[in-house]
Amino acid sequence: MIVESTAIPEVKVIQPRVHGDARGGVAESYSAPRFAEHGLPTQFPQDNLSYSAAAGTVRGLHFQRPPHAQGKLVTVLAGAIVDVAVDLRPDSPTWGRHVAVRLSSADWRQLYIPAGFAHGFCTLTPGTTVHYKVTDVYAPQCEDGLAWDDPQLGIAWPVDPAEAVLSDKDRRWPTLAELAPMPA
């Protein structure tokens, strides 16, 4: 596997080595020893799947506060997304900045987003399925979010805001300026 840092070094793009032949391909999408070699977490107590019927579906920006903050390993099983991570770590030199990475089932790339980041994505194709492993279990009392379209974030989403498909909850998250600070 090839692990590359993004503009925010703690957010990593992971490219599994795909072994292909006339039948298709196979890759090792997760290996605790290989993840440990690259300084990535090796314990993921929960896996999540999301299915989005329409292109232009936005999910996020979501995160969990301590003591159940979650790192996420994101993989697209069908379709394509623009995956976004926003740094909310209070003492970080990249606080409030984001990275956006295109992931698709065709390229097999994954994105690792550490705890302390808000995460969201926009589907680029209809019928998109996203799988993500998380480093802590879902804890509703720790759930929080950030406005996906906050101009302060400057995220270039690949969908017109008027046409984005969102949940009611995702339409109500606060902006970065309104967000209660994360504990240090």
Q: Which residues are catalytic?
A: 62, 132
- Per the listing, tokens 């994505």 go with 121
Residues 6+ away with beta carbon under 8 Å from 70: 63, 64, 115, 134, 135, 136
Going along 108-168, which residue ranges are E strands? 110-113, 117-123, 128-134, 143-145
CA distance 2 to 55: 29
Task: With CA atoms as reference, report the closest residue to 122 among 151, 159, 85.
Answer: 159
Task: With CA atoms as reference, report the closest residue to 120 among 94, 95, 150, 152.
Answer: 150
**Measured CA distances, 50 to 76, 121, 163 (Å):** 10, 11, 20
CA distance 28 to 16: 6
